[in-house]
Amino acid sequence: MLLHILNHIMLSRTFLLVLFICVGGVQEGARTPAGLINKYEVNGLQCWIITHVLWVANAQYFHWFSPTIIIDNWIPLLWCTNILGYAVSTLAFIKAYLFPTNPEDCKFTGNIFYNYMMGIEFNPRIGKWFDFKLFFNGRPGIVAWTLINLSYAAKHQQHMFSVLIHIAIYVLDFFWNEAWYLKTIDICHDHFGWYLGWGDCVWLPFLYTLQGLYLVYNPIQLSTPHAAGVLILGLVGYYIFRSTNHQKDLFRRTEGNCKIWGKKPTFIECSYRSADGGIHKSKLMTSGFWGVARHMNYTGDLMGSLAYCLACGGEHLLPYFYIVYMTILLVHRCIRDEHRCSNKYSKDWVRYTAAVPYRLLPNIF
């Protein structure tokens, strides 16, 4: 049933037209620590659509391989992605020593294990456009997220609808707003090493699809109130996640000349010094969701993550590993990001935290 629904959606003329009118093109990233601004070829949505159109077309018409091919070969694929993850990480490590893309943005700590794990190069590239960070997170990582779940659904379609809907919304949102991803912590602050290389190839696609794998072997029938509650939680979480990020993006693009929740946004003007000695100006918004808490986008993300887990019922703890992991990841990311901002903005950051005192949950944390 699910594959038939996807077949009608993805092979329709209107949907295919998105290939030619969707967002993309060349976009600028954030300024690197050395003061550089990289350009990116943003085409993730086109790649996602082409991949899934071919997947559905094969399942319905060509039958070159079974749509259950991923779950039928789950262990071999896990081995292959591990090899890929370590190969990519090792290549990035060697490349940083022999032919770095931007030597001024490299970070050598003196600890070879830390260098391998957390990365040396900030934005390793091959050629002008092949960027390791953008490609490995967005292509094998995020694209595989929906492909793996489609393979699970082909194995056991009856109880996968809620999980697939939530994940499809998140993934499509990611690719539709891929230019926004260029301004996130992964691109703006993390160096590329094993942490991102192996994580994008192995951890992301296999851990993030844990709920679908669980439902294949432990199918459940949710009650109508339970299913409705899961759907509402996921949609509210998505609304908070998307609205928060949209507000920030709108504020940046217009340099504050916009309206947030019907009013001109308030902000704190800051200055900071980049590694090249230049002084730059920045604005920290204190309106909209960014006036409610400093990381409300993470709050919405966690609500969506909890919805994925709740779609598996409450009979086993295994599907809930995901929300535990995401909570640890995002709370740690909050603390790490704020430590960096404190060092970057100094007294201006103190003013900002006084204006917006809570991190994730208003009046709680």
Q: Side-chain half-sphere of 131: how many Cα atoms within 13 Å?
A: 23
CA dist list (Å): 359 to 278, 280, 362: 30, 25, 8
User: What backbone phi and psi angles, to 5 degrees, belong to 226?
Assistant: -65, -50
How far apart, in whole angstroms, are the C-alpha atoms of residue 129 and residue 149? 30
Q: Using alpha carbons, select from 248, 48, 226, 56 the residue that is nearest to residue 142.
A: 48
Q: What is the pLDDT along the chain (365 residues), one digit of tens a residue?
A: 544 544 544 545 555 555 445 556 777 777 777 777 888 888 888 888 888 899 989 988 898 998 889 999 999 999 999 999 999 999 999 999 999 988 888 888 889 999 999 999 888 999 888 889 888 888 888 898 899 988 888 877 656 677 788 788 888 888 888 877 777 777 777 889 999 999 999 999 998 898 888 888 888 888 889 888 998 999 999 999 999 988 988 888 888 888 899 889 898 888 777 666 667 778 888 999 999 999 999 999 999 999 989 988 888 888 899 999 999 999 998 898 888 888 888 888 889 889 999 998 888 87
Q: Side-chain half-sphere of 220: how many Cα atoms within 13 Å?
A: 22
Helices and strands (DSSP H and E) totals, the chain: 19, 6
How far apart, in whole angstroms, are the C-alpha atoms of residue 258 and residue 251? 7
